[in-house]
């Protein structure tokens, strides 16, 4: 017998025998539930009531969208895998602390992103529990991570908050591929709640794009991931900004394994990089550069200061990020490497080792849900 199963560990004296109900003598909980009048689930959720519920839970703006909305086709199987019978989505956002995100101190920016993401989860959880009390099935996926990591490097997130936010009228996608809220600008964390029933009124996308095409995100991104023509170098962004995550982290583990001794490890990974890995593991994975967010002057709360004094915006926000000496992670011989060499010669190029994760063989995509 396993040590863990020893009789004195079973707490047998505390066991109350289970009483299996019979048709004549049902279990007391079953009998009590049957005695209740049958709850009539609401066919639709009242949009005004739901909006008030969301704002009271702490979100800064909210909109509702039917899952059948054109543009969300790619989301359907994923969300119905998470919550079968999903009919509608709540898109919401919470403001971030602008000065934190605009700071040259990456730790200040990362602190606020992580805190706001947690507040988004807390607000969403409050909303889901209240809906649950009303007999509504509701689920909130993570704002960022965790994700269905077994699907990496393919799509591992449950829902694309950006696509939902645009459809739910919370803003439009800027040149930098983040959703810009007409008032709060890029300084928002997005979230989504899945609902098992429709809402009485849905939102429309905002009519005009708040992006003013200033191009500051293009010139400040250290790896040139954002192109002036709207192109986006996903790989360059991921390789640098998410240096401590996913396949990049797997690469660091392999550096450790392959190192012959401490001196060899230090040749591969600098002591400063080791501390950065420690910090990411201890707190939250640390982004290296949300600079496209930091410099963005779009949104009515933000644009006034920029238009009044663009030089101050450049001096206090843009230039400190462009000047900052820092490691920049790029693949050798990539366009990103060339970008750092020519535009940011004072930044130090590092080539990360990363593991090529094979395409997922097990459960690679959700089952198709015909609803």
Tell me if 175 contacts ligand B12 by CB under 6 A.
Answer: yes
Q: Contact 102/322 with Cβ under 8 angstroms?
A: no
CB hemisphere CA count around 278 (13 angstroms): 7
Q: Which does 322 bind (CB under 5 to 8 A by kind): ligand SF4, ligand B12, none?
A: none
Secondary structure class of 233 (helix, strand, coil): coil
Q: How many angstroms separate the first and last alpha carbons of the chain?
A: 49
317 scored as a contact of ligand SF4 (CB under 6 A): no
Closer residue to ligand B12, CB minimum distance, 45 or 221: 221
Beta bridge partners of 92: 62, 191
User: Within 103-132, which residues bind ligand B12 (CB under 6 A)?
Assistant: 113
Which CB, 111 or 201, lies closer to ligand B12?
111
- 242 lies in the site for ligand B12, by CB under 6 A: yes
Is the CB of residue 180 less than 8 Å from the CB of residue 298?
yes
Q: Of the candidates 108, 214, 305, 335, which one interacts with ligand SF4 according to CB under 6 A?
A: 214
Q: Which stretch binds ligand B12 (CB under 6 A): 14-22, 152-160, 196-204, 355-363?
A: 152-160
Task: Give the list of residues 6+ apart from residue 168 with CB closer than 8 angstroms, or none.
Answer: 62, 63, 64, 65, 89, 90, 91, 203
Structure tokens at 132: 């649950």
Name which of ligand B12, ligand SF4, none residue 140 binds, using a CB cut-off of 5 to 8 Å depending on partner kind. Answer: none
- Establish if 173 lies at the interface with ligand SF4 (CB under 6 A): no
Cα 328 from Cα 222, distance rounded (Å): 7
Interior CA angle at 218 toward 216 and 219, to 5°?
70
Shortest Å distance, C-beta 134 to ligand SF4: 39
Instruction: Output the smallest distance, CB 217 to ligand B12, in A.
Output: 7
Binding site for ligand SF4 (CB under 6 A): 174-176, 211-217, 295-298
Q: What residue ranges bind ligand B12 (CB under 6 A)? A: 113, 143-144, 157, 159-162, 173, 175-179, 186, 188-190, 230, 232, 234, 237-238, 241-242, 287, 290, 292-293
């Amino acid at each position: 017998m396993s040590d863990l199963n020893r009789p004195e560990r079973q707490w047998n004296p505390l066991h109350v025998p289970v009483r299996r109900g019979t048709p004549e003598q049902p279990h007391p909980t079953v009998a009590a539930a049957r005695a209740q009048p049958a709850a009539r689930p609401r066919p639709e959720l009242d949009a005004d009531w739901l909006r008030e519920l969301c704002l009271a839970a702490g979100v800064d703006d909210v909109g509702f969208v039917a899952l059948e909305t054109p543009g969300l086709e790619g989301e359907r199987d994923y969300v119905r895998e998470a919550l079968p019978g999903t009919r509608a989505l709540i898109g919401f956002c919470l403001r971030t602390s602008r000065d934190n995100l605009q700071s040259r101190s990456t730790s200040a920016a990362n602190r606020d992103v992580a805190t706001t993401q947690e507040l988004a989860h807390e607000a969403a959880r409050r909303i889901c529990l209240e809906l649950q009390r009303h007999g509504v099935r509701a689920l909130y996926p993570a704002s960022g991570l965790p994700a269905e990591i077994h699907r990496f490097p393919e799509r591992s997130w449950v829902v694309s908050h950006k696509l939902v936010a645009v459809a739910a009228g919370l803003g439009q996608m800027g040149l930098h591929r983040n959703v810009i809220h007409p008032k709060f600008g890029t300084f928002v964390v997005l979230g989504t709640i899945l609902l098992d029933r429709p809402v009485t009124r849905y939102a429309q996308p905002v009519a005009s794009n708040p992006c003013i095409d200033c191009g500051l995100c293009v010139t400040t991104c250290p790896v040139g991931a954002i192109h002036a023509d709207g192109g986006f170098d996903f790989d360059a962004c991921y390789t640098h900004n998410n240096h401590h995550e996913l396949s990049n982290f797997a690469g660091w583990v392999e550096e450790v394994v392959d190192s012959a001794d401490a001196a060899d490890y230090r040749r591969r990974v600098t002591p400063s990089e080791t501390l950065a890995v420690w910090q990411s593991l201890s707190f939250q994975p640390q982004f290296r550069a949300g600079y496209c967010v930091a410099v963005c002057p779009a949104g009515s709360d933000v644009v006034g200061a920029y238009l009044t004094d663009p030089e101050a915006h450049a001096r206090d926000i843009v230039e400190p990020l462009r000047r900052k000496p820092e490691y920049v992670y790029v693949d050798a011989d990539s366009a990103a490497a060339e970008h750092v060499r020519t535009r940011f010669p004072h930044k130090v190029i590092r080539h990360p080792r990363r593991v090529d994760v094979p395409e997922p063989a097990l459960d690679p995509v959700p089952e198709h849900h015909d609803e």
